[in-house]
């Protein structure tokens, strides 16, 4: 059992939850994730660990409320319990020997990107962060991102804050300005990661994406999270979650993410009805 | 009097035929997930037990991987002492309710029953199941007196058949045993793989509770290799480690289109349905594709479990696609028979080579080839050979790939000194399962590749003895 110790609503539908998981907090490295299951009738969902506190024995997750499980998670208050948390899973991000990195985050992906930027910064990498959202009040972790970046650029799709446009526009400008960039990390909606990978491809800048497909066990047992990378099938849970963005079949990833869209809606509707009872 | 004469005398006297076990009607059972055979009544069990001629040198026992004293327990059944019979089995087998259901008795104990030479063998599996169920329902499960603590701590990785067996054995020898399980529930393949209609989960839960009552500690949600390495466990004070992690990684065929939505590994399909209870969605949150036209690739027990699950989820056409013929299918005859009764279709000598999807990336058709049988291969089965130009398409909306499993690499990768073979299975030095790493034993599918529940239990039993000797010598 894992007790919730903090909950903060970061924007309209993005929530931060901190909960106890002392063993995982001791081992966890940037880029790794957990599978959690709120109760015994729940679904197992993967969520990247945004931060960990080995002293307090806690993990932090940031997630967007998109379905029944995240909805239920967002309603857990301090003192409530999450029954099952498995982790840390996946390979940690490789952060060694990078002089300059650009971290490109969109929407809730900014939360997932933040620990990577932080780890890079701690290794002495020059970190340029580009974060974006649809509109100003959906933008999260601005201050946190600034604190771990040498440069921070902000975009909104509607121009309500920062530069009017997309994160990929800023990325292209920075690369075109002639700065030497060793690595790009990008996490966000699948279409955004695809565009970012397309921007860096002609420049041959290695671009890592962190994928969040549907998973069940998270230990390499089921293959639900398989993705095609460079024409080969990979399991995100044990081979990833980070892959070379120039090699990922994003179209396939998107269609597999939509596999249960009807059931997800049904479950969420029922959940909401239950709430109003 | 020779055994043969004894049989003939007995047959003349009683002429009891092998007793059938009542089953749910096929039409009714495809609409539910309840268990198919409903078990013997006490009267039927006693009648069946009377068929046993109590051989002096019983063949059946030599066919049992855990050496159950079969004639002794059957005699107790014949005498009406069902609780005594259950305890007799439990002297060497801690999971009789499971084994009575899922062991391939026809290839083990019953195959060597002397009655089988002329008539039908004694229904040993059905009797085992009966007494285990009787004891559980009677609520008289006995907690054995345990020896004084040895002070030795043993970590068991994986709460499947091998791990549960060894944990039970070691705790009964006075050791302090902790099982680490990656999933949120104990049972391994018994809980995620084998469907409710073949092994009700309440039975597995009862067996696990029994182990906990006799002192086995179980830590679920513990991904050993990631959360803690084997080195960490030794550093925490464990004296020995047993690895019973199974051959959990699914094999795909690497054919075009295999990652379309609607295509599952059998592991995923069964895990969703069994462990996550997707067949009870939306009461349970995990969804599963309820296909109308479901193809299951493969001919083993896991393929049968998958295709019968598909029928129960409402498939109009549930088809087994197998590249050899019915004769070569590795599935138990009983499972194939049940599948046939329920309306499963079989496409033998057929192999998929490509999947075709729609604009949403969902599988719609499967391109198959017809095969014919050629010369025998190294397994002794005739090798399937492609018939050129025989391609044809089958309409499908759900596909379950059930062509085997392989070793999961996480523990070997994170354990220095633990050797694996070229398929990733853990190398053991002898039949006790001792690995190349000091203090570490392994058993079950992670050593042998995919096999049976009872063989994994047998491996757990042998390792228990060796680990006991090892920790007591420290």
* Cross-chain residue pair B226–A263, CB shorter than 8 Å: no
Nearest CB to A238 within list B285, B286, B410: B410
Secondary structure letter of residue B435 according to DSSP: B
* CA-based nearest distance A189→chain B, Å: 18
Collect all residues of chain B within an 8 Å Cβ-Cβ radius of residue A37.
184
Residue of chain A whose Cα is closest to the Cα of B288: A260
The SS3 call for residue B422 is: coil
Query: pLDDT band at B408, cuts 50/70/90?
Result: confident
- Choose among A68, A69, A226: nearest Cβ to B259: A226
Select from B258, B276, B267, B279 the least CA-distant residue to B402: B267
Give the pLDDT of residue A265: 86
Spatial separation of the C-alpha atoms in residues A32 and A212, rounded to whole Å: 11
Q: Residues 219 to 258 of B: which have CB under 8 A from any A CB?
A: 220-223, 226-228, 248-250, 252, 254, 258
Question: Across the interface, which of B223, B268, B283 has its CB nearest the CB of A87?
Answer: B223
In whole angstroms, give the CA distance from residue A272 to residue A36. 21
Give the mutation candidate from A216, A249, A254, A273 for the B interface (greatest B CB count, under 10 A). A216
Q: If you measure CA to CA, which chain B residue comes closest to A249?
A: B259
CA distance A198 to chain B (A): 22
Q: Hey, are the CB atoms on A219 and B248 less than 8 Å from each other?
A: yes
Contact at 8 Å (CB) between B206 and B186? no
Give tens-digit pLDDT for B117-168. 889 999 999 999 999 999 999 987 778 888 999 999 999 999 999 999 999 9
> What is chain B's length?
474
Contact B261 A258 (CB under 8 A): yes
Q: Does B271 touch chain A (CB under 8 A)?
A: yes
Residue of B nearest to A72 (CA): B285
In B93-160, where does DSSP find H-type helix? 96-102, 124-138
Scanning every residue of chain B, which has its alpha carbon at the shortest distance from the alpha carbon of A24? B227
Q: How confident is the model at residue B213 (pLDDT cuts 50, 70, 90)?
A: very high
Under an 8 A CB cutoff, do A216 and B271 touch?
yes
Contact state of B184 with A83 under an 8 Å Cβ cutoff? yes
Which among A216, A228, A252 has the least Cβ separation from residue B276? A216
In eight-state DSSP terms, residue A27 is: H
Angle at A78 (CA atoms; ends A73, A81), nearest 5 degrees: 55
- Could A219 and B287 be called an inter-chain contact, meaning their C-beta atoms sit closer than 8 Å? no
Composition of chain B by helix, strand, coil, percent to 5:
40, 20, 45
The first and second tokens of residue A100, run together, are 């300059």
Answer yes or no: is the ipTM higher than 0.90: yes
Give per-residue pLDDT as tens, B56-69.
999 999 999 889 99
Q: Which residue in chain B has the smallest CA separation from A25?
A: B227
Radius of gyration of chain B (CA): 23
Q: What is the pLDDT of residue B150?
A: 96
Gap from A169 CA to chain B (nearest CA, Å)? 29
- Output the 3-class SS for B368-413: EEEEEEEEECCCCCEEEEECCCCCEEEECCEEEECCCEECCCHHHH
Q: Is A223 left (phi over 0), alpha (psi -120 to 50) or beta?
A: left
What residues in chain A have per-residue pLDDT under 70? 272-277
Tokens linked to B66: 């855990």
**Residue A270 in contact with partner chain B when CB distance is under 8 A:** yes
CA distance B62 to B57: 9
CA gap B140, B135 in Å, rounded: 6
Helices (H), chain A: 22-27, 68-74, 109-122, 142-147, 167-176, 190-200, 236-239, 250-257, 261-276
Cβ–Cβ pairs < 8 A, chains A and B: 118
Q: How far is B182 from chain A (nearest CA, A)?
A: 7
Contact between chains at B285 and A43 (C-beta distance less than 8 A): yes
- Say if residue B252's pLDDT is above 90: yes
Residue B12 has pLDDT above 60, yes or no: no
Q: How far is CA B105 from the centre of its chain?
A: 12
- A238/B409 touch (CB, cutoff 8 Å), yes or no: yes
CA of A226 vs chain B CAs: smallest distance (Å): 7
Q: Tell me which chain A residues have a C-beta less than 8 angstroms from the C-beta of B286.
A: 43-44, 216
**Segment A132-148, tens digit of pLDDT:** 999 999 999 999 999 99
CB distance from B362 to chain A under 8 Å?
Answer: yes
The H-or-E segment that residue B163 falls in is helix B161-172
Q: Which chain B residue has its CA at the smallest distance from A38's CA?
A: B285
| Band of pLDDT at residue B410, cut at 50, 70 and 90 | confident
Query: What residues of A are in contact with residue B361 (Cβ under 8 Å)?
Result: 251-252, 254-256
Paired with B177 in beta bridges are B154
Written as one string, the DSSP assignment of A45-106 is: EEEE--EEETTTTEEEEEEE--SHHHHHHHT--TT-EE-EEEEEESPPPP-TT-SEEEEEEE
Inter-residue contact A196 to A169 (CB < 8 Å)? no
Chain A window 76-105: which residues touch B at a Cβ cutoff of 8 Å?
A: 83-89
Share of chain B above pLDDT 90, in %: 84
Q: Let me know: does A83 contact A37? Beta carbons within 8 Å.
A: yes
> Is pLDDT at B15 greater than 80 in this prediction?
no
Residue B246 is encoded by which pair of tokens?
A: 């199974």
Asked if A265 reaches chain B (Cβ–Cβ under 8 Å), the answer is no
Question: Using an 8 Å Cβ cutoff, are B308 and B344 in contact?
Answer: yes
Which pLDDT does position A275 carry in this prediction? 47
Cβ pair B272:A264 closer than 8 A: no
State which residue of chain A sits closest to B283, comparing Cα positions. Answer: A41
Is there a contact between B252 and A223 if contact means CB atoms under 8 Å apart?
yes
> Minimal Cα–Cα distance from B26 to chain A, Å?
29
| Beta-strand relationship, A163-164 and A151-156 | parallel
- State the Cα–Cα distance between residues B415 and B225, nearest whole angstrom: 8
CB pair distance less than 8 Å for A43 and B276: yes
In the prediction, which pLDDT does B378 show? 83
Residues of B in contact with A267 (CB under 8 A): 281-282, 285, 287
Q: Which residue of A has its CA nearest to B254?
A: A233
What pTM value is reported for the model? 0.94
Region B248-255: mean pLDDT is 94
The residue among A219, A232, A261, A273 with the most chain B CBs within 10 A of its CB, best to mutate, is A219
Contacts of B276 in chain A (CB under 8 A): 43-44, 216
């Amino acid at each position: 059992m894992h007790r919730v110790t903090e909950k903060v609503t970061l924007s309209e539908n993005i929530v931060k939850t901190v909960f106890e998981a002392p063993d995982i907090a001791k081992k966890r490295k940037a880029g790794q994730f957990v599978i959690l299951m709120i109760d015994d009738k729940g679904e197992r969902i993967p969520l990247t660990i945004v931060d960990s506190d080995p002293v307090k024995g806690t993990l932090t997750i940031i997630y967007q409320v998109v379905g029944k499980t995240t909805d239920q998670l967002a309603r857990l208050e301090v003192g409530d319990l999450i029954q099952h948390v498995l982790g840390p899973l996946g390979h940690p991000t490789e952060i060694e020997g990078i002089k300059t990195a650009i971290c490109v985050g969109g929407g809730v992906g900014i939360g997932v990107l933040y620990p990577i930027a932080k780890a890079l910064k701690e290794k002495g990498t020059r970190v340029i962060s580009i974060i974006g959202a649809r509109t100003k009040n959906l933008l999260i972790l601005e201050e946190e991102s600034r604190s771990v970046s040498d440069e921070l650029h902000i975009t909104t799709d509607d121009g309500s804050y920062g530069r009017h446009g997309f994160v990929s526009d800023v990325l292209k400008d920075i690369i075109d300005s002639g700065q030497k960039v060793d690595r790009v990390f990008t996490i966000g909606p699948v279409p955004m990661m695809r565009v970012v990978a397309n921007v860096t491809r002609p420049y041959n800048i290695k671009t890592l994406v962190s994928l969040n497909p549907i998973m069940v066990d998270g230990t390499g047992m089921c293959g639900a999270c398989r993705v095609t990378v460079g024409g080969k099938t990979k399991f995100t849970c044990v081979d990833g979650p980070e892959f070379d963005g120039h090699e990922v079949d994003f179209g396939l990833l998107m269609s597999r993410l939509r596999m249960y869209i009807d059931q997800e809606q049904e479950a969420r509707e029922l959940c909401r009805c239950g709430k109003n009872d | 009097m020779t055994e043969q004469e004894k049989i003939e005398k007995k047959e003349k006297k009683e002429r009891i035929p092998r007793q059938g076990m009542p089953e749910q009607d096929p039409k009714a059972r495809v609409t539910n997930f309840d268990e198919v055979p409903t078990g013997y009544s006490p009267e039927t069990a006693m009648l069946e037990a009377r068929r046993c001629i109590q051989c002096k040198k019983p063949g059946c026992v030599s066919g049992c991987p855990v050496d159950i004293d079969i004639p002794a327990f059957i005699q107790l059944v014949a005498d009406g002492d069902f609780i005594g019979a259950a305890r007799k089995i439990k002297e060497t087998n801690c999971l009789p309710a499971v084994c009575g259901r899922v062991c391939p008795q026809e290839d083990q104990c019953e195959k060597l029953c002397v009655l089988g030479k002329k008539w039908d063998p004694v229904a040993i599996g059905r009797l085992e199941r009966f007494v285990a169920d009787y004891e559980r329902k009677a609520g008289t499960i006995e907690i054995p007196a345990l020896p004084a603590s040895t002070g030795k701590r043993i970590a068991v990785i994986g709460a499947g058949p091998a791990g549960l067996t060894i944990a039970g054995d070691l705790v009964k020898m006075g050791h302090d045993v902790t099982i680490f399980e990656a999933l949120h529930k104990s049972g391994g393949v018994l809980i995620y793989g084998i469907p409710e209609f073949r092994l009700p989960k309440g039975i597995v839960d009862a067996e696990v509770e029994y182990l906990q009552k006799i002192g086995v500690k179980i830590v679920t949600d513990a991904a050993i290799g990631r959360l803690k390495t084997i080195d960490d466990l030794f550093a925490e004070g464990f004296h020995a480690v047993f690895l019973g992690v199974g051959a959990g990684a699914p094999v795909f065929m690497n054919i075009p289109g295999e990652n379309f939505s609607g295509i599952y590994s059998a592991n995923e399909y069964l895990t969703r349905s069994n462990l996550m209870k997707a067949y009870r969605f939306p009461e349970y949150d995990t969804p599963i594709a309820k296909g109308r036209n479901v193809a299951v690739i493969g001919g083993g027990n896991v393929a049968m479990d998958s295709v019968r699950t598909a029928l129960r989820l409402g498939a109009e056409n549930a088809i087994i696609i197998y590249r050899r013929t019915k004769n070569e299918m590795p599935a138990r005859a009983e499972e194939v028979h049940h599948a046939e009764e329920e309306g499963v279709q079989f496409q033998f000598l057929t192999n998929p080579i490509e999947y075709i999807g729609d604009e949403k990336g969902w599988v719609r058709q499967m391109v198959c080839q017809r095969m014919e049988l050629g010369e025998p291969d190294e397994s002794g089965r005739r090798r399937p050979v492609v018939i050129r130009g025989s391609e044809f398409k089958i309409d499908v909306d759900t596909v379950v790939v059930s062509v085997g499993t392989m070793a999961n690499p996480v523990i070997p990768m994170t354990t220095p000194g633990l050797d694996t073979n070229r398929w990733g299975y853990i190398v053991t030095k002898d039949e006790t399962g001792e690995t190349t790493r000091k203090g570490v034993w392994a058993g079950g599918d992670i050593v042998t590749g995919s096999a049976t529940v009872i063989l994994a239990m047998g491996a757990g039993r042998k390792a228990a003895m060796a680990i006991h000797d090892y920790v007591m010598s420290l």
